[in-house]
Amino acid sequence: MTGGFSLRRAARQAWLVGMGLLLTLASLPVRAQEATPGAPPPAPPALPPEAAPAVVPTVAPILPVDLSPWGMFQSADIVVKVVMIGLATASVLTWTVWLAKTVELASARRKARRALAALDEVQSLAEATVRVGSERATVPALVRAASTEVRLSGDLLAEGVKERVVSRLERIEAAAGRSMTRGTGILATIGSTAPFIGLFGTVWGIMNSFIGISKAQTTNLAVVA
Checking if the pLDDT of 29 tops 70, the result is no
pLDDT score for 30: 47
176: domain range? Answer: 122-182
Checking if the pLDDT of 223 tops 90, the result is no
pLDDT score for 193: 94
Does 173 share its domain with 82? Answer: no
Mean pLDDT of the region 122-146: 83
Tell whether 18 is covered by a domain.
Answer: no
pLDDT score for 85: 94
Does 70 share its domain with 177? Answer: no
Cα-atom radius of gyration of the chain, to the nearest Å?
54
Distance in angstroms (rounded) separating the CA atoms of residues 70 and 139? 50
Does 132 share its domain with 165? Answer: yes
Does 92 share its domain with 189? Answer: yes
Number of domains in the chain: 2
Checking if the pLDDT of 138 tops 80, the result is yes
Q: Which among 215, 214, 142, 217 is positioned nearest to 177, based on CA atoms?
A: 142
Does 109 share its domain with 193? Answer: yes
Tell whether 3 is covered by a domain.
Answer: no
Q: Which among 119, 138, 120 is positioned nearest to 130, based on CA atoms?
A: 119
Does 102 share its domain with 194? Answer: yes
Given pLDDT bands bounded at 50, 70 and 90, which one contains residue 32? very low
**Residue 17: C-alpha distances to residues 11, 25, 120 (Å):** 10, 12, 154
Give the Cα-Cα-Cα angle 195, 201, 205 (nearest 5 degrees). Answer: 145
Q: What is the pLDDT of residues 54-80, one digit of tens each?
A: 555 554 445 545 677 788 788 788 998
Checking if the pLDDT of 42 tops 70, the result is no
Tell whether 27 is covered by a domain.
Answer: no
Say what the pTM is: 0.57
Mean pLDDT of the region 129-158: 81
Q: What is the pLDDT of residues 75-115, one digit of tens each?
A: 788 998 999 999 999 999 999 999 999 999 999 899 888 88
Q: What is the pLDDT of residues 169-188, one digit of tens each?
A: 899 889 888 888 888 889 99
